[in-house]
Structure 1
Amino acid sequence: MPAPLAHDLLRDTTRFLLRQDSVEALCQAGLAFLAGQLDATLALLHLRESDVTYRLRSHVGEHPLLAVHELQVMEASWEAQLQAGAWISTPVPAPSWTGPAERNYARLGARHLVNFGLYSGPRLIGTVNLLFDCERPELSDLDVLGTVGALWGTLISRMQAQQEVAAREAMLRVVTEQGSHLLSVIDDQGVITYQSSASDELLGYPAEFMLGRPYDGAIHRADRPAVSEALAQLRREPGGSVTLPLRVRHAQGRLVWLEVNARNLLHEPAVRGIVIHLRDVTDAHATQRHLERRVQDLTLMHDTGRQLQLSRSVVDVASGLVQLIQERLGHPYVQVGRVLPDGSVQAVARAGGAAPSSALPPGRGLIGACVSSGVTLCVPDVRLDPRYVARHPEVRSEVTLPIRINGALWGVLNVESPQVAAFDASDVRALETVVSQAGAALGNVTLLDDLRRSRDELRAAYNETLEGWARALDLRDRETEGHSQRVTGLTVALARRLGMAEEELVHLYRGALLHDIGKVGIPDAILHKPGPLTEEEWQVMRLHPRMAYDVLRPIAFLRPALDVPYAHHEHWDGGGYPRGLSGEQIPLAARIFSVVDVWDALRSDRPYRAAWTEGQAREHLLVQSGRQFDPQVVRAFLGLLDELGDAAQEWP
């Protein structure tokens, strides 16, 4: 199977690892998930046991020789690469292999190996080896494995530390007053009956101050329902325990993240309470949040670059940018606005709230300030900024960034959040990268729009010139005045009915307009002769298709339209001119046009005869079907006439 896209692998693996709740799950389930994502035949995860040895902790897949790899001493060159943060993707057997033969991964049936390290900070704590039974050269592009290894190793180290703490706490029945962990005991009414001295450090309140108070006084309002529900359930389970995270407000006002381990000892006569251990995990939470936001920012930048490459218009770019930011960052209000010549800003795309009915006046609000200054504005609390113009009452923070095309201000990106200080420096940097990508994409689509506009204008000018030529030809040949315009529209309608591609219809249209261009070389004495032509005169008249070829062939723009001017006098049975083509040797465009051309000629007055009736003209087409005309084209044309009715006489 093909390797997943790098950003998908990073995102999905990160999400999976962050959901695991034990070292065992991180190792075994995490390895199984990654092996499944990359379709590995075997997968091995070793954790460092000493300075020189690594022990097999988890594996996916079975092989009789796996026991050989239970304890590994890594090659010095490979370990040096991993220590430096590199990762390895190589065919097996690797030409650089210098270790014992029995440990060569080729003995496990591998034909390709991917090896990367697990890191806790700068320290290498383990390795992951993914083995494949066929060569997988495409895996050499998965640079995200370095990021995966850093996250994975950090989570394993942190979980090991957490499990060690939990194990120590389980063995201790008496917690000393030393250290930074807080011990608290509450009665069955939720009132604090005991508080250790760590209360002052963790909460900023002395233990004596907390005694006799409700346990949830300092808990963040948003966390109180979950904590209350968990403790209510715990009260119904004597001896039971529960672990959960929560936020408390320190006496100095800052927010502190705590990990809470509570055990129901209400039934124990010596305790008569719920014993709660609280550990400060603010730094760990910040680290995890930083990792998550970094992955989020990287995913946003990658997805933005990929999606904007597919955009074909300004609205596509703006809408794609708005959608990605709202989906990836979760902010409810996102808008891309274009700066108009007078300095006002008109919304091009937005998410959240109704679109404004008119442009934002110059200099108004933070958007106007961004346009005036040309720099990014990030406001942690809009209630404190007099420039802010409220559009959504729940908004608390806002960031506005200029969008430039080749250095010139084009517009602004505006993102609003109901949270105070929702945008940190890394968010702003990520958004600045995104608007830079958007500016490049807007420059591309603007250039494409200009090119399309120029192309359309040039094409229209060409067509108007051709129509002028056609009118000039009709005026010269007074018998056929208006003939070119009539047959051109009807020819295109018939060709479309027969399923001709739209791009071919353009050439058919031009060829039909110029079908008699060769008559410019026919002397007026022959062209305007009121009576029948002599045989010698007919020989001259039959030269006009060849003259058309000679006139149009040197013009590259009109070369694809030559089929009609050059071949519309050929006959299905081979009796036409100038080349005597027959059947499907005659280009389809010419076969279509010849039917319409004769129909229009028969239905028009001539100096030497009156116009034929519709019935007479239909009969003539049927008689000549299979002789002069392609039978399939005749049937389609008569069906078209039936659909058009009287309108056929007014065509186009």
Structure 2
Amino acid sequence: MVTVSAACERILGYAPAELIGRSFLEFVHPDDRITTSDEGTRIASKGRAGQIGMTVVHNRYIHKEGHEVWIEWNAVAVPNDAVLYCVARDITERRAAQEDQAFLAAIVHASHDAILGVTLDGFIRSWNAGAEELYGYRAEEAVGQLMNLIVPAELGAEEEVMLRRIGKGERVPPFESVRKAKDGHLIPVFITASPILAPDGRVVGASKIAQDISARQAAARQIEALNDGLERQLIHVSNMRKIDQTIASGGDLTATLGLILENILKQLSADAATALILNPYTLTLEYAATRGLHATALHGSAVKLDQGPAGQVALSRHPLTVPDLRTVLLAPDWHDLLRREGVTSYYAAPLIARGQVLGVIEVLHQRTFVPSSQWLETIEALIGQAAIAVENALLFQELEHRNMELRLAYDETIEGWARALDLRDKETEGHSRRVTELTVELCQHLGLPPEQIVQVRRGALLHDIGKMGIRDAILLKPGKLDDDEWAQMKRHPSFAVELLSPITFLQPALDIPRHHHEKWDGSGYPHGLKDTAIPLTARAFAVVDVYDALTSDRPYRPAWTREQAIQHILNSAGTHFDPQVVQVFIAMLEQT
């Protein structure tokens, strides 16, 4: 280098003195030295040959600090002049910008999304390969066309508003829309729109990126369908559990069947549903529960097994689907229902448990109905629950009936024992029945619950059952008992306990036979209990027992009057009797 301007220091970091006398190739990037040397030789050779040589060279130099600098050289060789004249310009930033643009162009071109450049008046200026793939138009077909090429007519206003907003510098959030392909089919897209700025900052157009969201929407619909299915399944399982709990609780059959029918309406989109129970004695199907429309008009009615579709289902033991009810023979009530409600389709299935037909479930629709496999699966589960409910109810009714018969047998046996005891002791004939009725009434006034009243009745009937262990010579003695005889007589409460304790169902009734001779002040027998240590039922019975004895004729005295007996009871309150029980007893007598 012969001479260098001061600008070299700004470009390469070297002062002119550091460069003069050295070869410029020392500062060229190693990768560019050969091409730079060849180009310099070529231009210089023209000058030596008496020609003007000119060239523009872009190459890299190494800055004094070690980084690369891109320089644009304008070189001239003057004829017959050994010096090569060059003007250098730093183009590092321009090269970086060009590389960025090249990268961006490559990204836009390679993107599978449709990327368009659109003027503010709606003309397409650029169209990438993704747009060709999405819309079906080649770039030469689309560029220069208005956006209505791909925007459906009904969305033209949306497009105009968006371009107007971008032109005003407003931000347009990404949005979903629809575009039209070359073959006419509509494509759901997700659009991002951004302004295109001129060097002076003016908005001159819009860059629009459109993503095909067909697969995304299909996946969303599939997920939604799955969620709906899961929600329906969850509701089904929850409702089935509720039905199970209702069945397990032994609730009313009509209410349980009603719950099942309500689930049929909700889960299976039915318009009405009914439940019929088979009466094996009358050979009829009786409507036990109905839901929907005005099917309640059928509640309480019955159909014979040889009539109508329900009877057919019960006899055949198979489900039945009738698309048009007008084609089958129906009872008059059904004709009224069809005419009033417009029911068209019918489905019914038998309720079967342990191989026995218990009834029929009917499902009605006001429209043409073809059951799907899922529908049938759900109805089968609900019908299975209904069959269990009916079977449990029938078993419970049978068990209840048997229990009632057993209780009646128990009570009749107890009453027989009481009558036998009365017959043995002629003086007390009828006494057991009278004191039992009056004690039960008194205990009801004292607020005892019904389940305890049952035990009160049994205990009162058997209060003197222990006298069966007393010899006739003592029990039937017409005169006064001596001390030994009286000691034997006072053992009859203990004999009662020994006799009745082994009988499990009579154990809760032992309070009266065991304690009815105890007294409030503790002077009674057999244990000398006092106050509230004496069971309430025994305290109540003691009052009634004495009252009945006083108001009944005996061989050794006539019956006392009601008033005399009441006065005696009042006088004995606090000694023999519980004062509060006496008050309730007297108030009860005054009501009769």
**TM-score range, shorter-chain basis?**
0.5 to 0.7
Q: Of the candidates 310, 313, 335, which is equivalent to residue 367 of structure 1?
A: 310
- 1:610 — aligned with what? 558
User: C-alpha separation between the residues in 1 aligned to 2:519 and 2:362?
Assistant: 68
User: C-alpha separation between the residues in 1 aligned to 2:317 and 2:230?
Assistant: 27
Cα distance change on mapping 1:384 and 1:552 into 2, 3 Å: closer
Deviation per CA, 1:10-31: give whole Å up to 9, x if none: xxxxxxxxxxxxxxxxxxxxxx
- 2:324 — aligned with what? 382
Return the offset for 1:502. Answer: 2.2
Q: Note if 1:345 corresponds to 2:293.
A: no
Q: Note if 1:631 corresponds to 2:579.
A: yes
CA contact (8 A) 2:176 2:188 kept: yes
Q: How does 1:297-376 map to 2 (within 5 A)?
A: 297-311=233-247, 312=250, 313-341=252-280, 344-352=284-292, 353=294, 354-356=296-298, 358-376=301-319
Cα distance change on mapping 1:625 and 1:482 into 2, 3 Å: same
TM-score, scaled to structure 1: 0.54
Deviation per CA, 1:508-560: give whole Å up to 9, x if none: 11110011111112232332333333333322222211221221122222122
CA contact (8 A) 2:268 2:375 kept: no
Q: Note if 1:541 corresponds to 2:489.
A: yes
Return the offset for 1:569. Answer: 0.7
User: C-alpha separation between the residues in 2 aligned to 1:568 and 1:424?
Assistant: 72
- 1:521 — aligned with what? 469
Residue type matched to 1:345 in 2? L
Q: How does 1:461-610 map to 2 (within 5 A)?
A: 461-610=409-558
User: C-alpha separation between the residues in 2 aligned to 1:588 and 1:443?
Assistant: 42
Cα distance change on mapping 1:423 and 1:286 into 2, 3 Å: farther
Return the offset for 1:468. Answer: 1.3
Unmatched 5+ residue regions in structure 2? Answer: 1-113, 125-130, 137-147, 163-174, 178-186, 191-213
Return the offset for 1:283. Answer: 10
Return the offset for 1:578. Answer: 1.6
CA contact (8 A) 1:308 1:320 kept: no
CA contact (8 A) 1:336 1:347 kept: yes
Return the offset for 1:385. Answer: 5.3
Cα distance change on mapping 1:484 and 1:639 into 2, 3 Å: same
Cα distance change on mapping 1:507 and 1:427 into 2, 3 Å: same
Return the offset for 1:286. Answer: 8.5
CA contact (8 A) 1:347 1:359 kept: yes
User: C-alpha separation between the residues in 1 aligned to 2:348 and 2:219?
Assistant: 30
CA contact (8 A) 1:531 1:608 kept: no
Unmatched 5+ residue regions in structure 1? Answer: 1-166, 182-194, 200-214, 216-230, 245-257, 262-278, 646-652
After superposing the two structures, state which structure 1 stretch, 364-373 or 503-512, moved more. Answer: 364-373
Cα distance change on mapping 1:297 and 1:387 into 2, 3 Å: farther
User: C-alpha separation between the residues in 1 aligned to 2:324 and 2:225?
Assistant: 24
Q: Which has the larger radius of gyration?
A: 2
CA contact (8 A) 2:264 2:382 kept: no
CA contact (8 A) 1:363 1:371 kept: no
User: C-alpha separation between the residues in 1 aligned to 2:469 and 2:493?
Assistant: 10
Return the offset for 1:351. Answer: 1.0
Residue type matched to 1:620 in 2? H
Residue type matched to 2:240 in 1? T
Any idea what SS the aligned residue of 1:504 has? helix
Q: How does 1:227-306 map to 2 (within 5 A)?
A: 288=224, 292=228, 295-306=231-242
After superposing the two structures, state which structure 1 stretch, 406-415 or 336-345, moved more. Answer: 336-345
- 2:28 — aligned with what? none
User: C-alpha separation between the residues in 2 aligned to 1:595 and 1:365?
Assistant: 65
User: C-alpha separation between the residues in 2 aligned to 1:547 and 1:386?
Assistant: 74
User: C-alpha separation between the residues in 1 aligned to 2:385 and 2:450?
Assistant: 35
Residue type matched to 1:340 in 2? N
User: C-alpha separation between the residues in 1 aligned to 2:149 and 2:291?
Assistant: 50
Residue type matched to 2:409 in 1? A
User: C-alpha separation between the residues in 1 aligned to 2:539 and 2:507?
Assistant: 18
CA contact (8 A) 1:300 1:325 kept: no
Cα distance change on mapping 1:623 and 1:395 into 2, 3 Å: same
User: C-alpha separation between the residues in 1 aligned to 2:221 and 2:514?
Assistant: 79
Deviation per CA, 1:329-387: give whole Å up to 9, x if none: 442311111133365321110013233263123244432332233222334x3268546
Any idea what SS the aligned residue of 2:436 has? helix
CA contact (8 A) 1:571 1:580 kept: yes
Return the offset for 1:303. Answer: 1.1
Deviation per CA, 1:162-186: give whole Å up to 9, x if none: xxxxx999x9979x999999xxxxx
Cα distance change on mapping 1:372 and 1:284 into 2, 3 Å: farther
User: C-alpha separation between the residues in 1 aligned to 2:286 and 2:230?
Assistant: 32
Any idea what SS the aligned residue of 1:355 has? helix
Return the offset for 1:425. Answer: 1.9
The one of the two structures with greater contact order (alpha-carbon pairs below 8 A, sep at least 6) is 1
User: C-alpha separation between the residues in 2 aligned to 1:403 and 1:628?
Assistant: 64
Return the offset for 1:464. Answer: 1.0
User: C-alpha separation between the residues in 2 aligned to 1:330 and 1:300?
Assistant: 13
User: C-alpha separation between the residues in 2 aligned to 1:259 and 1:458?
Assistant: 76
User: C-alpha separation between the residues in 2 aligned to 1:259 and 1:489?
Assistant: 87
Residue type matched to 2:364 in 1? E
User: C-alpha separation between the residues in 1 aligned to 2:540 and 2:494?
Assistant: 19
Residue type matched to 2:273 in 1? V
- 2:56 — aligned with what? none
Return the offset for 1:447. Answer: 2.4
- 2:352 — aligned with what? 404
User: C-alpha separation between the residues in 1 aligned to 2:189 and 2:419?
Assistant: 90
- 2:58 — aligned with what? none
Work out the number of aligned pairs and report it.
409
User: C-alpha separation between the residues in 2 aligned to 1:259 and 1:537?
Assistant: 110
TM-score, scaled to structure 2: 0.60
User: C-alpha separation between the residues in 2 aligned to 1:319 and 1:450?
Assistant: 22
Residue type matched to 1:370 in 2? V
Q: Of the candidates 392, 410, 417, which is equivalent to residue 444 of structure 1?
A: 392
User: C-alpha separation between the residues in 1 aligned to 2:309 and 2:219?
Assistant: 34
Q: How does 1:2-401 map to 2 (within 5 A)?
A: 288=224, 292=228, 295-311=231-247, 312=250, 313-341=252-280, 344-352=284-292, 353=294, 354-356=296-298, 358-379=301-322, 381-382=323-324, 386=328, 390=335, 391-392=337-338, 393-401=341-349
Any idea what SS the aligned residue of 2:410 has? helix
Return the offset for 1:297. Answer: 4.7
CA contact (8 A) 2:358 2:391 kept: no
